[in-house]
Chains A and B, each alone.
Chain A
């Protein structure tokens, strides 16, 4: 099996997590899936660069983060950050879930600066350790910690009304 087959087959089971990460970064479902499409195309085009001893999920998540940053730059931030009415897409009906609170959270997340938002997506949504996120973002662990603390404080303030 050559490396492009290995990457292609390895990506299939990662698709749900990749889509979740993209949703946390991009917000709107349509934007997020556009991002996933760009990520898959890039990953396949660069399959030769992936070394089998490196974790494929981290490799492709790094591509996703960089592609999202490229998109942000290309579109200009103000246009990209989603309008409040679009946040409703995230309020998925689920037993025990509180759509109003999730809407609140989605809006708060969308309002975070990209530096904060990506740390939240990688650590709190995807579940990476601080060290893994720092490596992916190419920043010191202390930077991850402080960005996460500030992002958390902002999100908590939005949730605080209800808790």
Chain B
């Protein structure tokens, strides 16, 4: 097998590889503990950066900044930010309310997008997603692949390519997957009593809203982030993956 070079490995970690190239790295990872450790270290850097900077997203925006974005008419009649910070009802209350809305806005948008993707997925003849208690779960070909397929033994023609398998920090076993059909879709599945829950589904195409999402990536950033958030130990090697399957993904 060709060795995976540094640029390829970095592109893999950053979700820049196409489906086939990512599948090759997945296969190499399952058999190469050193490579898997390097991937894990590269992911750790990104996870630490997010841990350091993402809290900024939830901080209240300083009044002096949001005041700059008030309509000109409101700015003219508005008291100074210092007064607003003590807040009566008008501008400050309004801004606080909108701020509260903005902070969870991303999460809300993500869940709406997830629902849309799930509905869209469940429509084709081959139902890969079923809804259970309002949550998407793997079904059909996808469910079968998650139950049986091993990343260490990729099947060339399979509709579903399995990526990483690992035990999540909540104890459940999770696996990433990519659909080989165009357009590439990817997601994370976590095993539980009701089957494979799908906490994150993504499409590799850029979102229409102008969100910064990379095209043609095997694992969309939302899926990468979900993996980063759940991954504590190592990803399974070939032996652990097989043992997990034999144990029914418990």
List chain A positions with a Cβ less than 8 A from chain B: 5, 8-9, 11-13, 15-17, 19-20, 23-24, 33, 36-37, 40-41, 44, 55-58, 90-92, 94, 96-98, 101-102, 105-106, 109, 120, 123-132, 145, 148-149, 152, 155-156, 159-160, 163
B42-59 contacts to A (CB < 8 Å): 42, 44-46, 48-59
Cβ–Cβ contact B48 & A15, under 8 A = no
Residues of B within 8 A of A106 (CB): 52
B45 and A130 form a contact (CB under 8 A): no
Asked if B42 and A152 make an inter-chain contact with CB atoms under 8 angstroms apart, the answer reads yes
B14 within 8 A of partner (CB) = yes
> Is the C-beta of B243 less than 8 angstroms from some C-beta in chain A?
no
Contact of A24 among B46, B53, B102, B103 (CB under 8 A): B53
Kindly count the residue-residue contacts between A and B in the assembled complex, taking CB atoms under 8 Å apart: 128
Per-residue CB contact flags for chain B residues 208-220 toward chain A (1 = under 8 Å, else 0) read 0011111101000
Q: Provide the bound-state CA to CA distance between A13 and B98, in Å.
A: 9
Query: CB within 8 Å of A: which residues of B?
Result: 6-7, 10-11, 14, 16, 41-42, 44-46, 48-59, 61-62, 64-66, 68-69, 71, 98, 102-103, 105, 210-215, 217, 221, 225
Chain A nearest CB, measured from B92 CB (Å): 15
Taking A37-B65, A120-B49 as contacts, is the C-beta distance between A16 and B14 under 8 angstroms? no
Known A-B contacts A57-B212, A97-B51, A160-B41; the reply to A33 vs B65 at CB < 8 A is yes
Complex interface: chain A residues within 8 A of B7 (CB): 145, 149
Q: Which residues of B contact A130 (CB under 8 A)?
A: 11, 14, 16, 214
- What are the residues of chain A within 8 A of B217 when measuring CB–CB? 129
Chain B residues near A145 (CB-CB < 8 A): 7, 10-11
A20 to B214, Cβ gap below 8 A? no
A94 touches B55 (CB 8 A): yes
Q: How far is the CA of A37 from the CA of B66 in the complex (A)?
A: 9
Supposing A92-B55, A125-B53, A159-B45 touch, asked if A149 and B6 sit within 8 A by C-beta, the answer is yes
Bound complex: CA of A24 vs CA of B42, how far in Å?
18
| Cα A92 to Cα B214 with chains together (Å) | 29
* A23–B56 CB distance below 8 A: yes
Known: A56-B210, A120-B49. A12 touches B102 (CB 8 A): yes
Binding site secondary structure of chain A? helix
- A44 x B210 contact (CB < 8 A): no
In the complex the two chains form, is A20's CB within 8 Å of B57's CB? yes
Q: Is the CB of A149 within 8 A of B10?
A: yes
Please name all residues of chain B whose beta carbon is closer than 8 Å to the beta carbon of A96 when the two chains form the complex: 51
Expressed in whole angstroms, the Cα–Cα distance for A12 and B217 within the complex equals 29
Contact status A19-B55, CB under 8 Å? no
Contact of A16 among B56, B64, B215 (CB under 8 A): B56
Q: Assess the B16–A15 pair: CB atoms within 8 A.
A: no
Residues of B within 8 A of A40 (CB): 65, 68-69
Contact of A55 among B16, B64, B212, B215 (CB under 8 A): B212
**Shortest beta-carbon distance, B60 to chain A, in Å?**
10
Chain A CB count within 10 A is highest, among B41, B45, B49, B61, for: B45
- Please state if B102 and A16 are interface contacts (CB–CB under 8 Å): yes
- Indicate which residue in B11, B42, B51, B225 contacts A94 across the interface (CB closer than 8 Å): B51
**CB-based nearest B residue for A141:** B16
